[in-house]
Amino acid sequence: MKASIGDVALKAGVSNATVSRTFAHPEQVSEATRLKVQAAADALNFSVSRSAGILKSGRTYRIALLVGSGIIEWFTAEIIAGLNDVLRDAGYDLVIYPIEGSEARDAFFEELPVRSNADAVFVSSFGISPDEVKRLGTAKIPIIGINTTSEGFDATVGINDKEGIKLIVRHLAKLGHRNLLYLYESFSSTLGFSSFNRISGFQEACDAVDGLTARTLAVQKGDSILDAAISEIMAQDNPPTALCFHQDSQAIPLFFRLQRSGLSVPGDISVTGFDDSTFAKEAELTTVRQRPYDMAVDAAQKALALIEGQPIEEPFETFPVQLQVRGSTAKPRATPLL
């Protein structure tokens, strides 16, 4: 059915090796032969099969990406795009493994399907345990972390989450806010190392400001983070004057809800996000910008270098974050809400 290298060789009247060379090292083949071979290949709709070459090379030309959830949100989508752009050009396939739920998780680390079947593995924003990293290490392939701890990883890329949230806190403090509330989903797919730092960084930054009251509120996934937010704003005793969301996508819907509740941003309440993702600009959401696409491109390059056994100049890289001050933050109300 499908033409193989032998069919082409037969048709072109040359040896298998010459056909192989025509595609792999065309400069080693004479012009005349090359044309003959190409004509035969075209006639037979032949393309070189990667599988065979892969077997010979000892490489799999597959690179795995472990993500915490099957739902592909902004961050993961950017990561996939960045990784794919670099890896595809280098001849590698990116294979996505969503590790959802503890059964799937245990199964993955038990079977370790990447062992012998991937040349490198990325772990993205995934609350991976030291034991799991260790287990992954037995696959003897480079492990690259994206927004993870660096323990056990061959390379990592990420942002300084603490630094990022600190920018938010200091911005709000300078505006005069003295009562902040941090909101996040406690089982959010992104609640790994990165998230942990963002939350603890918030507390640290707040503690560093005199007279600043700060609370963090974990909302169960599924519970409405918006209901929680509105309830807190309307509380009689000491309501926050600013809400800091763990990520933009949790803050965006709040704007709609607030409008319906007769509350105005930033007049009644200031709101901040984190990511600078979809709609953040249009919503005029004050946030912290990170660029996961760029991180992924860098991570992919690190992976390729590690696969080649090349030394990496900077295995653990921290990417810049930037405060984006927009219309959702302003001075707190001078008078109580009611």
How far is it, in rounded angstroms, from Cα 334 to Cα 268? Answer: 10
Helix (H) or strand (E) run with residue 66 in it: strand 62-67
Instruction: Write each residue from 3 to 32 as x if it is in contact with DNA (CB under 7 A), else as -, in one continuous string.
Output: -xxx------xxxxxxxxx-xxx--xxx-x
How far is it, in rounded angstroms, from Cα 262 to Cα 111? Answer: 54
* Binding of residue 115 to its own copies (CB under 8 A): yes
- Which of 38, 39, 43, 49 is in the footprint of DNA by CB under 7 A? 49
Helix runs in 247-338, H state only: 248-260, 292-307
Q: Long-range contact list for 31-38, CB < 8 A, 24+ apart?
A: 36/12, 37/8, 37/12
Q: What share of the chain is helix, strand, coil (3-state, %, to 5)?
A: 45, 20, 40
In degrees, rounded to 5, the angle at the alpha carbon of residue 78 between the alpha carbons of residues 140 and 144 is 15
**Cβ at position 47, least distance to its own copies in Å:** 4
**Cβ at position 84, least distance to DNA in Å:** 23
How far is it, in rounded angstroms, from Cα 169 to Cα 43? Answer: 67
- Which of 44, 48, 209, 263 is in the footprint of DNA by CB under 7 A? 48
Nearer of residues 98 and 209 to its own copies, judged by Cβ: 98
32: partner contacted, choices its own copies, DNA, none (Cβ within 5-8 A by kind): DNA
128: partner contacted, choices its own copies, DNA, none (Cβ within 5-8 A by kind): none
* Binding of residue 117 to DNA (CB under 7 A): no
277-296 binders of DNA (CB under 7 A) = none
**Cβ at position 103, least distance to its own copies in Å:** 14
- Which of 7, 10, 33, 97 is in the footprint of its own copies by CB under 8 A? 97
161-190 binders of its own copies (CB under 8 A) = none
How far is it, in rounded angstroms, from Cα 276 to Cα 291? Answer: 9
Helix runs in the chain, H state only: 5-12, 16-24, 31-43, 50-57, 74-89, 101-111, 130-137, 161-175, 193-207, 225-234, 248-260, 292-307
Which residues, including other chains, have CB under 8 Å from residue 125's CB and lie 6 or more apart? 67, 68, 75, 76, 146, 147, 148, 189, 190, 192, 193, 194, 195
250-309 binders of its own copies (CB under 8 A) = 252-253, 255-257, 259, 278-279, 282-284
168: partner contacted, choices DNA, its own copies, none (Cβ within 5-8 A by kind): none
Nearer of residues 87 and 169 to its own copies, judged by Cβ: 87
* Binding of residue 264 to DNA (CB under 7 A): no
80: partner contacted, choices DNA, its own copies, none (Cβ within 5-8 A by kind): its own copies
- The stretch among 56-64, 123-131, 194-202, 292-300 that binds DNA (CB under 7 A) is 56-64
Nearer of residues 260 and 334 to its own copies, judged by Cβ: 260
